[in-house]
Amino acid sequence: MQAAEFDHTDFDKSKQSALDEALLVKFFTKQVMNRAKSDAEGRPIYRDVEYIDIKIPGSNTGGACRPARMDDLERFPRHYAAFKARQEMPEEGTPLAEWPAITRSMAEELAFANVKTVEQLSMMADSNVSNFMGLQGFKQKAIEWLDVAKEQVKAQELRTELSIRDKQIAELQAQIDDLSKSKRPTSPVKVEKKKVDVPCETSAEAKPKARRRRRKTAE
């Protein structure tokens, strides 16, 4: 009997759990750009995505860092529960850190005050804005920047609609042209008339015929 080349205990979940305990596991939130919404809004829109970082102690090459999957949550329930316990509400919008109109230090100061996106800055109450030196100007810039982005989206939508309309008109005109060509009458075929040569009568043959015609006339 041939011996198995693997240890059946390798598939034991309890053994896997014991090995997982030696791993350095961390769940975290990463801001990932939402391409569809960014194109729709005309500005960068990010969304929070849960990631998992797995490191092997003593190794610089092993491990993984990628978006978390459902099996990761089931495999590392304790780590995920700890992550959810300290997790903040997910943010969606244009991060202040990605907005070139504001300084990095101001973005960090606002993040400490729970203002992390351009949208949140534009909607800050004036009473709270007054707590930050020079923030009123940044708030106004945020409002104007969002308005410009909306207008650009509307302009792009109009250009797209006009382009589609022009294409439809061109296709319709091509169909009309093809239909006109198919109904155009063809030129009539010219029939050449052939000349028939009639044999000429000699003077000797013509004289008896002339006398017979005169006789008939006299009668």
Tell me if 88 is assigned to some domain.
yes
Tally of domains within the chain: 2
Q: For the whole prediction, is pTM greater than 0.85?
A: no
Contacts (Cβ under 8 Å, ≥6 apart) of 21: none
Residue 92 contacts residue 98 (beta carbons within 8 Å): no
What is the CA angle 99-100-103, rounded to 5?
Answer: 95
> Cα separation of 66 and 62, whole Å?
13
* Domain range for 57: 13-93
pLDDT tens column, 134-190: 889 999 999 999 998 888 877 777 778 888 888 888 888 888 877 877 776 666 556
Average pLDDT of the chain, as a whole number: 77
Whether residue 99 is found in the same domain as residue 171:
yes
Q: How confident is the model at residue 71 (pLDDT cuts 50, 70, 90)?
A: very high
Residues 81 and 120 in one domain: no
